[in-house]
Amino acid sequence: MGGENFRQCLSSLDQYAQLAKEIIIVVDGGTDDSLRWAQASGAKVLNLPVAGGPARARNLGARVAQGDLLFFMDADVTLHPETLRQIIEIFNQQSDLTALIGSYDDAPGTSNFLSQYKNLFHHYTHQVGCEEASTFWGACGVIRREIFLQIGGFDESYRYPSVEDIELGYRLKRAGHRIQLCKTVQVKHLKRWEFVSLLKAEFFYRALPWTELLWRDRQFVNDLNLKVSSRISLMLAFGIIVALIAAWWSIAALALASVFGLLLLLINLPVYRFFYRKRGLLFAIKTIPWHWLYFLYGGLAFAVGTIRYYAFRKPGTEKMLLPDVAKS
């Protein structure tokens, strides 16, 4: 963490000093001015000299917390003025609710196209998701502290920001706990995405370990990024590639590729309409190749992750195999 995004995050916390029982900041091996800024904020600061990943940092913060509810947020998000009040009200009204996740808003903090596209797509995915959530989300997630500690917190074997929050959510659901997706509880994402950083994060730190997690827990639910429409889209995207390769030998394959492309466009028309409403026609058109690329690298990661899972797992163990690649 660190930089201007973290400073904006700290500024957004100031307005919650009276509503929150306490604010805890865990500096996970910070090498910039993060520690100094955190200490100057007046929050309780825990400093880890060597970075060990968000799972370990969040677990440490949870252990020293005093409140009944744990609200986790990333260092590159800012809160809306009503966010904390909404959370408190929801938990006061639902005594059987274990955890709650929110959504990114529709006004990402970074203006370049790729950041706007990725963060808006994340917003869309949550806005059309099931309110009875199937997993947890660490960028804007709340959980009852007692249950969090009982279930063992985040899995600290995830050394980089990865799917540790999804894994926690699967364990919560397996234990019979309720997780609610509250679409009006929103935060603003400030992260700037570039081509290389996006592909590295999406492929190595999300799709690959998530595939192995899916096979471990068999959580192929029709929700969020795993909807049936997304699975069909993945097959159509690869169908286009296969048909284009086949066109080298038969020109008729181009017609098949066109049919697959039209079907892929039609099945995802709600997504492109969303982008059109938010950013206009040109922006929506520019998102189409990126969206199709998303299906391609997601499908490739699923294939590789499936092979890794069945080839390297040992009987009686379900260890996630994460690549030791520095994440930007």
Which structure tokens are listed for 217? 């827990």
Domains belonging to the chain, first-starting first, are 3-193 (3.90.550.10), 195-328 (no CATH)
If you average pLDDT over residues 254-275, what whole number do you get? 95
Give the mean pLDDT of 126-149: 93
Question: What percentage of the chain reaches a pLDDT higher than 90?
Answer: 58
Task: Classify strands 77-79 and 179-189 as parallel, antiparallel or unpaired.
Answer: antiparallel
**Contacts (Cβ under 8 Å, ≥6 apart) of 195:** 114
Q: What is the pLDDT of residue 322?
A: 45
pLDDT at 326 over 60: no
Q: How far is CA 171 from CA 174, 179, 206, in A?
A: 5, 11, 18
For 187, phi and psi rounded to 5 degrees? -130, 160
Give the model confidence (pLDDT) of 50-77 as tens digits: 888 899 999 999 999 998 999 999 989 9
Phi and psi angles of residue 117, each rounded to the nearest 5 degrees, phi first: -60, -50
CA distances from 192 to 10, 104, 160, 233, 298 (A): 18, 14, 18, 27, 21
Gyration radius from the chain CA atoms? 21
> Which two structure tokens, joined as six digits, stand for 71?
């609200």
pLDDT at 12 over 50: yes
pLDDT for the residue numbered 17:
60
Task: Report the DSSP pairing between strands 140-144 and 99-104.
Answer: antiparallel
Residue 15 has pLDDT above 80, yes or no: no
State the pLDDT at residue 199. 92
Beta-bridged to residue 48, according to DSSP, are: 28
Q: How many helices (H) and strands (E) does the chain have?
A: 13, 7
Among 7-16, 20-29, 207-216, the least confident range: 7-16
E strands, 145-238, are 179-189
* Mean pLDDT for the stretch of residues 156-165: 90
Residue ranges with strand state E in the chain: 24-28, 44-48, 69-73, 77-79, 99-104, 140-144, 179-189
Phi, psi of 290 (to 5 degrees): -70, -40
Note whether 55 and 165 are within 8 A (CB).
Answer: no
Work out the mean pLDDT of the chain and round it to a whole number.
88
Of the two residues 207 and 97, the one the predictor is more confident about is 97
Which of 306 and 274 is assigned the larger pLDDT? 274
Signed CA dihedral, 197, 203, 208, 213: sign only: positive
Mean pLDDT of 92-119: 95
Q: At what angle do helices 281-312 and 113-127 cross, to 10 degrees?
A: 70
The pLDDT, as a whole number, for residue 51 is: 83
pLDDT at 319: 46
The model's pTM: 0.88
Question: Residue 177 — very low, low, confident or very high, per pLDDT cuts 50/70/90?
Answer: very high
Whether residue 217 has pLDDT greater than 60: yes
Give how far Cα 16 sits from Cα of 12, 66, 79, 188, 311, Å: 8, 16, 9, 16, 49
- Residue 326: burial class (beta carbons within 10 Å; 0-12, 13-18, 19+): exposed
Under a CB-based contact definition with an 8 Å cutoff, are residues 12 and 79 in contact? yes
Q: 10 Å Cβ neighbour count for 233? A: 23
Question: Are 80 and 14 spatial neighbours (Cβ–Cβ below 8 Å)?
Answer: no
- The conformation of residue 132, written as its DSSP 8-state character, comes to B
Phi/psi for 101 (5° steps) reads -125, 150
Q: Is 122 helix (H, G, I), strand (E, B) or coil?
A: helix
Residue 327: pLDDT band by 50, 70, 90 thresholds? Answer: very low
pLDDT band with cut points at 50, 70 and 90 for residue 223: low
**Poorest-pLDDT segment among 87-91, 221-225, 305-309, 322-326:** 322-326
Q: Is the pLDDT of residue 224 over 80?
A: no
Q: What is the mean pLDDT of residues 148-169?
A: 92
